[in-house]
Amino acid sequence: MTKAVTNRNSDAVLGTCLVLFGFIAMYPMVEYNVDCPTISTDPDGHESCIKLKGHLWNAVSIISFGLDGDGATLSQSIDEQHSRNVVPILTAMVIIMFYQKSKT
């Protein structure tokens, strides 16, 4: 019974890591291709969009443990080159998979 609970818990953590990996891999491309409304036509929308993009970039940087870019930029974004690093989350996923393998 303990093996099932252990694997279920580690499956949940692995799933969370997979979702976070998808977020930090895809967000830079989405952010680069989505334009905020212009300040002259919609000042409130522009400000909200800029703030949201800033908060999401902070989340990407936190998930990347503040490490500099990993060199695999998919867009021309400067933020992606200096804020996104998938190595920490991939390392966590590999460690969890080895942990699961050792428990079976």
* CB neighbourhood size of 69 (10 A): 17
pLDDT, one tens digit per residue, over 40-68 is 999 999 999 999 998 998 888 888 877 77
Handedness of CA 83, 89, 90, 91 (dihedral sign): positive
Separation of alpha carbons 10 and 5, rounded Å? 9
Residues of the chain with pLDDT under 70: 1-7, 69-79, 104
SS3 of residue 84 by DSSP: coil
pLDDT, residue 103, reads 75
Pull the structure tokens for residue 66.
Answer: 């503040």
Q: Where are the domains of the chain?
A: 2-103
pLDDT, residue 6, reads 60
pLDDT, residue 12, reads 87
Name the DSSP class of 40: T
- Predicted TM-score (pTM) of the model is 0.75
